[in-house]
Amino acid sequence: MSQAVEGIGRERLVILAGLMLAVLMAAMDQTIVAAALPDILSDLGAGQDKITWIITAYLIMQAASTPLYGRLSDMYGRKPLFLGAIVIFWVASGLCGVAQNATQLTFFRAIQGIGGGGLISLALTIIGDIFSPRERGQYISGMFILIGIATILGPLLGGWLTDHYTWRLIFVINLPIGLLAIAVIEPTLDLPVPDEDHTIDYLGVLFLFLTTVAVIVVSEKGSDWGWDSWRIGLLIVTAVVALALFLVQEYASQEPILPLELFRNRVVAAAIGLSFCAGIGRLLVINYIPTFLQYTQGVSSTTAGALIAPMIIGMVGFSFVVGNLMTRTGRYKPFPVMGAVFGAVGFFFLSTIHGGTSFSTLAIYLFITGAGFGLIMPVLTTASQNAVRPEYLGVVTTIITYLRTLAGGIGVSVYGTLYSNSFSDMMVRLTGRAQSRGTLDPVLLHTPRYGRVLRDDIVRAVSLSMDQMFLYLIPVMAIAFVIALLLPELSLSQQSNVEEMESDGGTDGTDARPTSD
């Protein structure tokens, strides 16, 4: 037996392998569909307006179900919820593979999203169950590395399967992976199951669902419907009202979906704030850099998506370093502080890009930005898990994941509005006429259909508008820097969650003492 296996324990190593299989399915599915959309569109005879809901339906249900898995797993046990999520995802993947029209595929994708909401978040929670806070940093960072790799490989694998076989295989491929994950997890994962009676906060679930749906639809459809349209306005009002009702309900509920007392924990509050800031910036880079490359360089959407790889590499590389340093030193506070600085510097560099920026220069800027996210994200789960009692491990893990997703949606909404309005104003100033980016085809832009002068004006408007958007992200990272400085550093416990629950005299993470700075 190797030293690595002896250190982790063979049983925990097998469980970790099963968790990674489940995470691989969920992470890859977030990006693998994008490359196949044109073929799905053609094969199912669906219009562009319907095909976009294939992605949106998954995102909505994944985001909405994530915090529910955490709270329910705290109440009823981790294993049945995790296996249930795998089964839901597995069945829905098979149904997606045999869908006969866009309506069926959208519905099955929504079901798949319900399963996907529990795969990554509960995998991170289970790592907290079986590894001590001192150990788990390297394994949580390993999960983020896997997610990053899947983000890059997803579009490539999706394109290859579609080009050489059929788009249906991008869903069918989940079937053997899911079966293997179940075969590994079911006989090996043995976690304590709470024996208390619980009640589910159904009103809280409803209000949280409405909030999530409204935010995700605004972020996904804002550009299509128009940021100043009545539909977007109605959705924004719905999100604000539903969020207010959710907070009131959680305050009054005896067993809330999101216990508001968690926000009084300074570590958790700081982790939530950092997760929100990182979520805003990360999704904007992933969404808008490919757009920038399509309009300024004339590359295809697939190529533009692949060129985001330097950011993923930076994020993955620094996640690996941070995870191992947390395990070796027991420290976590310096990393988000440095991450906020890296993020701010990266966004400053991205605010200088233009049509003449080379791919190599852009790759360096993206790597720096990704490094910032890699320094921040692995810390949040480890620090917050270490700071709460065992019965809150699931909800605190999933709420950080959920808020990162929600922040991304809010960021796309707010900064997307800023970008679109800036683009329209730029076009009026440069050409003397209004022009919506939504009416432009980035592929046709670099053909003789557009004159050189108009093309140059459009490229300049896109560049200047995007520069302004990235410049306005620097204050977000400045806020993250302040939050990181205020993040309390508690000593990382040497006991896993299971060991704490089974130990009569064990202390919880809230009793951990600050380490010297």
Q: Is pLDDT at 439 greater than 60 in this prediction?
A: no
The count of other CB atoms within 10 Å of the CB of residue 278 is 27
Q: Residue 450's pLDDT band (boundaries 50, 70, 90)?
A: low
The CA–CA distances, whole Å, from 124 to 23, 58, 394 equal 9, 20, 9
Between 42 and 214, the more confident residue is: 214
Residue 173 token pair: 């491929």
Q: Residue 10's pLDDT band (boundaries 50, 70, 90)?
A: confident
Contact call for residues 112 and 172 (beta carbons, < 8 A) = no
- Cα(502)–Cα(196) distance, rounded to whole angstroms? 16
Intra-chain end-to-end CA distance of the chain, in Å: 39
- Cα(61)–Cα(44) distance, rounded to whole angstroms? 23
**Tens of pLDDT, residues 284-318:** 888 788 878 877 777 766 677 677 889 989 998 99
Contacts with 509 (C-beta within 8 Å, 6 or more apart), sequence order: 133, 385, 386, 387, 388, 389, 490, 493
Where exactly are the structural domains of the chain? 9-188, 204-252, 262-495
Q: Residue 448's pLDDT band (boundaries 50, 70, 90)?
A: low
Alpha helix (H) residue ranges in 77-131 = 78-97, 102-130
The predicted pLDDT at position 3 comes to 41
Question: Is it true that 9-188 and 262-495 share their CATH fold?
Answer: yes
**Tens of pLDDT, residues 388-417:** 888 888 889 888 888 888 887 778 777 877
Residue 461 token pair: 């408007």
Between 39 and 166, the more confident residue is: 166
What value does the mean pLDDT of the chain take? 83
Task: Pick the closest to residue 129 from 189, 185, 80 (CA basis).
Answer: 189
Residue 415 token pair: 């900064």
Read off the DSSP letter of residue 492: P
**Tens of pLDDT, residues 104-141:** 998 999 999 999 989 988 998 999 888 888 888 888 88
55 φ, ψ to 5°? -85, -45
Residue 276 token pair: 């929100």
Task: Pick the closest to residue 27 from 147, 206, 125 (CA basis).
Answer: 147
**The CA-based dihedral angle spanning residues 212, 421, 373, 352, taken in that order and rounded to the nearest 10 degrees:** 170
SS (H, E, C) 199-259: CCCHHHHHHHHHHHHHHHHHHHHHHHHCCCCHHHHHHHHHHHHHHHHHHHHHHHCCCCCCC
The predicted pLDDT at position 50 comes to 67
Q: Is pLDDT at 364 greater than 70 in this prediction?
A: yes
Range in 353-357, 432-436, 494-498 with the lowest mean pLDDT: 432-436
- Cα(222)–Cα(228) distance, rounded to whole angstroms? 8
Handedness of CA 474, 480, 484, 485 (dihedral sign): positive
Task: Pick the closest to residue 193 from 68, 69, 81 (CA basis).
Answer: 81
| Cα atoms in the 13 Å half-sphere on the side-chain side of 142 | 16
119 φ, ψ to 5°? -70, -55
The predicted pLDDT at position 506 comes to 41
The count of other CB atoms within 10 Å of the CB of residue 353 is 21
The angle at the Cα of 286, spanning 281 to 291, to the nearest 5 degrees, equals: 120
The angle at the Cα of 267, spanning 336 to 390, to the nearest 5 degrees, equals: 120
The predicted pLDDT at position 160 comes to 84
- Cα(42)–Cα(483) distance, rounded to whole angstroms? 48
Q: Once rounded to an integer, what is the mean pLDDT over residues 407-430?
A: 76
For every residue of 267-318, DSSP letters joined together read HHHHHHHHHHHHHHHHHHHHHHHHHHHHHHH---HHHHHHTTHHHHHHHHHH
The predicted pLDDT at position 449 comes to 58
Percent above pLDDT 70 for the chain: 86
Between 4 and 196, the more confident residue is: 196
User: Domain 9-188, what architecture?
Assistant: Up-down Bundle (1.20)
Read off the DSSP letter of residue 13: H
Report which residue type is found at 180. Answer: L
Contact call for residues 31 and 155 (beta carbons, < 8 A) = yes
Q: Is pLDDT at 444 greater than 60 in this prediction?
A: no
Handedness of CA 194, 507, 389, 19 (dihedral sign): negative
Contacts with 510 (C-beta within 8 Å, 6 or more apart), sequence order: 265, 387, 388, 389
The predicted pLDDT at position 1 comes to 35
Q: What is the CATH number of domain 262-495?
A: 1.20.1250.20
Percent above pLDDT 90 for the chain: 32
Residue 308 token pair: 């985001």
Three-state secondary structure call for residue 42: helix
The predicted pLDDT at position 514 comes to 38
Q: Is pLDDT at 51 greater than 50 in this prediction?
A: yes
The predicted pLDDT at position 509 comes to 39
